[in-house]
Structure 1
Amino acid sequence: MMRKKIAKFSILPLAAGSIFFSFSTKEAANLDLEDYSTYDLDLEYTVADLRDELVPEFEISNTSPFLGKSYVGFKEALAFKESRGDYKSINEYGYLGKYQFGKGTLKLVGIYDSISFLNSPALQEAAFYANASRNKWILQRDIKRFVGKTINGVEITESGILAAAHLAGPGSVKKYLRSWGAQAFSDAFGTTIKTYMKRFGGYDTSFVKTEKNARVDFDDLSA
């Protein structure tokens, strides 16, 4: 799946101290997102793709001080890279929403109505989890084999693999890993699997369960 950049708005749990999420993602999809808006706040996801190559000694952290390396931190960092967290975003290639889904990927998780998808933040959050769950099932052997290894100078982590699968699809990630980086992928904007492996590495994505036929449960969304 190819990706992109576009607009503004993200969700952020506003709470003092440490944050622990014990709800399921289906429950998370029903959250009142107004309570989690970071509208008008100055976010810190500002790392340019080539900055570490232009200035190698300049160390940059992609971790929000609020969300840390949690699953929520992972998906919000990825969403900010994709669309700056804009649920209404549509890029020039037709990719949709906060996480810039292609219509083909949406169909895989049971979503066929693009308009309803764009108008429902809860549906977009549920779609992200379902797709990550499906990708984790497809790549589970590669996760076991390659996590902790270094390919093209980047340490492989589970979150990096899931982010790369969101960018390029699980098949392209398999080819990249199993060729030890020789079979590379870049999308229409020039973003590579290596870029996503590096930028989104080290998050705790144990919250995402492996599920072969993960699909959005519309009954839970409407409950």
Structure 2
Amino acid sequence: MYKKISHYFAIPLAICCSLFMALKPSPELDRTLYSTEGMEFDYSMSEEIAMSTESSSIDSEITPHAADHIYVPYLGKSYNGFKEALAFKESRGDYFTVNTLGYLGKYQFGAETLKLIGIYNPNQFLYNPQLQEKAFLANAARNKWILRKDIKRFVGKTVDGIKVTESGILAAAHLAGPGTVKKYLRSNGNYNFSDAYGSSVKHYMKKFSGYDTSFIVAEKRAKAIL
């Protein structure tokens, strides 16, 4: 009988204790124990993995101070590393930007180049990141097919002081078109085209050398299809 009575008191007592502990005011937190005042932190990235913040096709729209604080992931020498490094140089990776010459998106495509890979609505292209990624791959595949003989002939050789790689060739073709890259290689670097912002074929050949672009399959009529 006594056990039964004790059960009736135990449950309300436990509830009361729980409410008391929950509603009991806690002592004020001493925030000085967690202060970082006086500490030094290093947020810099090593030169080996930091992406360059050199001038690009939209440099005129980015203040030098802002550029000092832009960082991107390090993806190594993979295909993703290649396309993201190139995108960072072109637009700081911004899908929705248009430069002063009208080039569009993350990879800074011109309207005429888009037509070659089956895109006829630049406005729709600008606001569709997935289509932009498809366009980059399609354009690279088309350029790789056009330059297939030059890739076979020149990769591994030195032209104008630059060791030629497939990724360097494809990056330069993205900048200036495959025909211009052919002229550069076949003139031993004497025909070194530069765009309106001062980026040259030689610079792209060097900057984007050594990436693994085997993922890109040469295709004569490559199209960007969702």
TM > 0.5 between the two? yes
Q: CA 1:179 to 1:124, structure 2 compared with 1: closer, same or farther past 3 Å?
A: same
Aligned match of 1:87: 95
Q: TM-score, normalised by structure 1?
A: 0.71
Between the aligned residues of both structures, percent identity stands at 66
- Aligned match of 1:106 in 92, 114, 119? 114
Pick one of 47, 51, 58 that aligns with 1:45: 51
**For 1:117 and 1:75, how far apart are their aligned partners in 2?**
18
In structure 1, how many angstroms separate the alpha carbons of the residues matched to 2:97 and 2:51? Answer: 18
Relative to the length of structure 2, the TM-score reads 0.70
Match runs of 1:109-188 below 5 Å? 109-188=117-196
Q: Using CA pairs below 8 Å that are at least 6 residues apart, which structure has the higher relative contact order?
A: 1
- 1:27 maps to none
Which residue in the other structure is 2:85 paired with? 77
| Residues 1:215 and 2:199 are matched in the alignment | no
Q: Secondary structure at the match of 1:162?
A: helix
**Which residue identity is paired with 1:186?**
S
Q: Distance in 2 between matches of 1:208 and 1:78?
A: 15
| 3-state SS in 2 of match to 1:194 | helix
RMSD: 1.5
| Aligned residues between the structures | 163
CA–CA distance in structure 2, aligned partners of residues 165 and 134 of structure 1: 10
Q: CA deviation at 1:44?
A: 2.4
In the alignment, the residues of structure 2 paired with residue 211 and residue 65 of structure 1 have an alpha-carbon distance, to the nearest angstrom, of 30
**Runs of 5+ consecutive residues of structure 1 not aligned to the other structure:** 1-41, 50-63
CA contact (8 A) 2:50 2:74 kept: no
Name the CA distance, whole Å, in 2 between partners of 1:138 and 1:211: 9
- What's the secondary structure of 2:136's corresponding residue? helix
Which residue in 1 is equivalent to 2:203? 195
Greater gyration radius: 2
| CA-to-aligned-CA distance 1:48-103 (integer Å, 9 cap, x gap) | 37xxxxxxxxxxxxxx8741100000000000000000000100000000000000
